[in-house]
């Protein structure tokens, strides 16, 4: 997801950034206890705190106050060794700390792979603390599913782990062309909560597909044609049948086009037909969704958008007329419609007017 306050450098004239952070405090264990035992107890305490803070994977996190101190990110175990944190259903604000994307990690017998790191270095540190509360295994991979800041600006928290940073072979160029703007907007919107956040490009680019072995657990990464962005990537855990779709799937939150509505529809058709998928993780919205119904809802929105924009173009409507009239009934069906729907119409119009 991308913030409405960002000035675009993208194909369709607009780019939105979103980032966000939500933490829980970890009890510090002191006293005359052997260091390794103290670390174990601290981890157990942290895990209990996380569990207490997240009664349901489907419950949206509270945005009662801004969080600006070290903490452990609340996570939910969706399958054995696969954990996720649900971001807020919102744009990035100082109140929510920029924690608006779903992020998580997968544990093998050898090491851990992180899937997206959140919208700030602080959120990344909280995610790292959540990993340490569950396992002492090293982080060997940090996977970024696409370029948007709510998914990548926590990378800095993992630099000292010396992982491979993994992403689409188109990710580095996309990140570098937007990095300065992302960080400028993040600092303006979040203030000191954004401290230490920076763009770290991939060290291991993915062209088409790539398998990552975590030890008795292989993750299959796959890149896609231009859809949500031109650098989308998914992660499939064959052991549990879990497909981490990231922002190729928005659940309840309005899908945001920063790429191609037609490419996205093509990708969704391919994704829906993939064998072995028992569970999917969206980039925004509840961590547990009905499959494939959640994808079908998104597909229907995008297909209707494309159909209505084509009709407007054939009728000779200007872009502004299309923006003012298309999809006015979507309010109430999706969260953040007022923020993103008009932008989606603009993006679709700019793409589809060249079909004629």
CATH of the domain at 148: 3.60.15.10
pLDDT of 193 reads 94
Mean pLDDT of 40-62: 43
Confidence of residue 45 (pLDDT cuts 50, 70, 90): very low
pLDDT of 4 reads 64
Is residue 12 predicted with pLDDT exceeding 50? Answer: no
Residue 60 lies in a domain: yes
Range of lowest pLDDT (7-16, 159-168, 341-350) = 7-16
Is residue 327 predicted with pLDDT exceeding 80? Answer: yes
Q: What's the pTM value of the predicted model, to 2 decimals?
A: 0.84
Range of lowest pLDDT (6-20, 144-158, 297-311) = 6-20
The residue among 25 and 343 whose pLDDT is bigger is: 343
Residue 307 lies in a domain: yes
Residue 344 lies in a domain: yes
Mean pLDDT of 12-31: 31
Percentage of residues of the chain with pLDDT beyond 90: 78
pLDDT of 57 reads 56
Mean pLDDT of 328-342: 94
Is residue 148 predicted with pLDDT exceeding 90? Answer: yes
Enumerate residues 6+ apart whose C-beta is below 8 A from 250.
Answer: 1, 256, 282, 283, 284, 285, 298
Which candidate, 350, 352, 312, 308, places its Cα nearest to that of 330? Answer: 308
Our count of domains for the chain comes to 1
Walk across the sheet containing 103-107 and list its strands.
76-79, 82-85, 103-107, 112-115, 139-143, 164-168, 204-206
Distance separating alpha carbons of residues 18 and 68, to the nearest angstrom:
17
Question: How confident is the prediction for the chain on average, in pLDDT?
Answer: 86
Is residue 331 predicted with pLDDT exceeding 90? Answer: no
Q: pLDDT by residue (tens digit) across 222-279?
A: 999 999 999 999 999 999 999 999 999 999 999 999 999 999 999 999 999 999 999 9
pLDDT of 59 reads 63
6-10, 68-72, 289-293: range with highest mean pLDDT: 289-293
Residue 73 lies in a domain: yes
Residue 2 lies in a domain: no
Find the angle CA(75)-CA(80)-CA(82) to the nearest 5 degrees: 45
CA torsion sign for 178, 88, 250, 239 is positive
Residue 16 lies in a domain: no
Alpha carbon distances (Å) from 299 to 64, 243, 268, 296: 33, 17, 7, 5
Is residue 63 predicted with pLDDT exceeding 60? Answer: no
pLDDT of 39 reads 36
Domain region containing 124:
35-352
pLDDT of 58 reads 65
End-to-end CA distance of the chain: 30
Percentage of residues of the chain with pLDDT beyond 70: 80
Residue 160 lies in a domain: yes
Residue 15 lies in a domain: no
């Amino acid at each position: 997801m991308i913030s409405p306050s960002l000035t675009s450098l993208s194909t369709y004239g607009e780019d939105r950034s979103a980032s966000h952070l939500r933490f829980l405090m970890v009890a510090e264990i002191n006293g005359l206890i052997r260091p390794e035992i103290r670390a174990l107890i601290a981890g157990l305490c942290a895990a209990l705190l996380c569990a207490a803070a997240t009664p349901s994977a489907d419950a949206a996190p509270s945005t009662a106050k801004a969080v600006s101190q070290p903490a452990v990110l609340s996570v939910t175990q969706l399958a054995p060794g696969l954990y996720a944190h649900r971001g807020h259903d919102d744009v990035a604000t100082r109140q929510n700390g920029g924690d608006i994307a779903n992020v998580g990690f997968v544990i093998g017998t050898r090491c851990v792979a992180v899937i997206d790191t959140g919208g700030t270095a602080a959120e990344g540190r909280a995610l790292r603390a959540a990993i340490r509360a569950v396992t002492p295994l090293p982080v060997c991979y940090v996977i970024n599913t696409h370029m948007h800041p709510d998914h990548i600006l926590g990378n800095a928290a993992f630099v000292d782990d010396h992982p491979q940073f993994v992403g689409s072979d188109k990710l580095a160029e996309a990140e570098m062309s937007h990095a300065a703007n992302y960080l400028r907007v993040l600092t303006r919107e979040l203030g000191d909560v954004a401290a230490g956040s920076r763009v770290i490009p991939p060290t291991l680019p993915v062209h088409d597909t790539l398998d990552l072995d975590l030890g008795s657990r292989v993750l299959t990464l796959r890149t896609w044609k231009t859809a949500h962005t031109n650098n989308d990537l998914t992660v499939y855990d064959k052991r549990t049948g879990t497909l981490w779709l990231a922002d190729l799937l928005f659940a309840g939150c309005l899908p945001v086009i920063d790429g191609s509505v037609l490419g996205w529809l093509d990708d969704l058709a391919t994704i829906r037909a993939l064998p072995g998928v028992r569970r999917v993780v969206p980039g925004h919205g509840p961590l547990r969704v009905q499959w494939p119904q959640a994808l079908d809802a998104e597909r229907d929105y995008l297909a209707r958008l494309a159909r209505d924009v084509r009709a407007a173009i054939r009728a000779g409507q200007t872009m502004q007329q299309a923006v003012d009239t298309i999809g006015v009934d979507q309010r109430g069906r999706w969260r953040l419609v007022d923020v993103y729907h008009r932008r989606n119409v603009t993006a679709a119009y700019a793409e589809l007017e060249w079909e004629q």
